[in-house]
Amino acid sequence: MTEDFLSLRPRLFAVAYRMLGTVHDADDVLQDCFLRWQGCDPHQIDDPVAYLIRITTNLCLDHLRRAKRQRADYPGAWLPEPIVTDGPIDRIDHDVSVALLMALERLTPLERAAFLLRDVFDTDYAEVAATLDRSPAACRKLVERARSHLQDLRPRSVVSAQDGAAITRAFFQASRTGDTKTLARLLAQDAQIATDGGGKVVAAINVIHGRDRLLRFFAGLARKGTTGTDGRWQFCHLNGLPGIVSDQENAGLVQATSVEIQDGQITRIYVVRNPEKTAHLAPLLDTPS
């Protein structure tokens, strides 16, 4: 049964990560799922995949219900815990974009589960109903409501890997040094930045909108010397977006920055500074940039 679970773990992680938006919570759910799986009689389980997805989904629903208050009181912008999506990915598949994960936050836990099972993992309505302990008709309504809430979700822009890397690296260097001339060229007029410090480290509480405000923001950080120009950094892809994982010398704080690019300019910047969400990225900084 252990081998069966390990072979299915990547798919189960994909479900849990989209449901919860954090790597450590997803891993915790899978640990609980494994313990429950060990207590099962394999001869009474016709479809291990469906059974384990059912357990994982319901554990996630329980977690979301318990964490509802915590999410509501979250200080500042909430961003999903970044996950590296370079090369072959053994734990994830399909779309894990920041835009999708943030949009899922608009849904109720049941809507989120129904939408992911049906539209992301292509589960038939009979199995969705069995998983959520609802009728197929009720699950169809949950999915329809979720689709309605998510209908304004814009598809990610297509940018070549080479252009994405060049723009992201140029932005990172300019933002660290306060080079507003370069930033003005790289940022779209309606660009915005969201920073997630989780109330544990310094971060902007509100999303900052507009190129002019962003230029003043980065210039101010450079003047204060808080941009970490002396630290290590590594380019990678985070949730499918070009990004940079960095730290500050002797500060022990790992930061994950990713950007959305349209028509050669940056439209969205996501900065995760909450140490609970970035600790797992620290090993990236031990490799040459």
pLDDT digits (tens, 9 = 90+) for 2-51: 888 999 999 899 999 999 999 889 999 999 999 999 988 877 888 888 89
Q: Helices 136-150 and 125-132 meet at what angle, rounded to 10?
A: 100
CB 100 within 8 A of CB 116: no
Condensed to tens digits (0 to 9), the pLDDT of residues 219-277 reads 998 888 766 556 889 999 998 899 999 997 656 789 999 999 999 999 999 999 999 99
Neighbours of 54 (CB within 10 A): 19
Burial class (CB in 10 A: 0-12, 13-18, 19+), 159: buried
Q: Which residues have a Cβ under 8 Å from the Cβ of 258 and sit 6 or more positions away?
A: 82, 98, 238, 239, 241, 242, 243, 244, 269, 270
Under the banding of pLDDT at 50, 70 and 90, the label for residue 138 is very high
CA 226 and chain centroid, separation: 25
Q: Which residues have a Cβ under 8 Å from the Cβ of 259 and sit 6 or more positions away?
A: 167, 168, 171, 241, 242, 243, 266, 268, 269, 270
CB 85 within 8 A of CB 99: no
- CA-nearest of 212, 120, 223 to 178 is 223
CB 265 within 8 A of CB 191: yes
Condensed to tens digits (0 to 9), the pLDDT of residues 180-231 reads 999 999 999 999 999 999 999 989 989 999 999 999 999 998 888 766 556 8
CA 99, 282, 64, 143 torsion-angle sign: positive
CA 82, 87, 93, 96 torsion-angle sign: positive
- CA-nearest of 88, 92, 89 to 80 is 92
Q: Which residues have a Cβ under 8 Å from the Cβ of 27 and sit 6 or more positions away?
A: 13
Tokens encoding 61: 């629903």
The answer to whether residue 62 scores a pLDDT higher than 60 is yes
84 DSSP assignment: B
At residue 38, φ and ψ (nearest 5 deg) are -65, -25
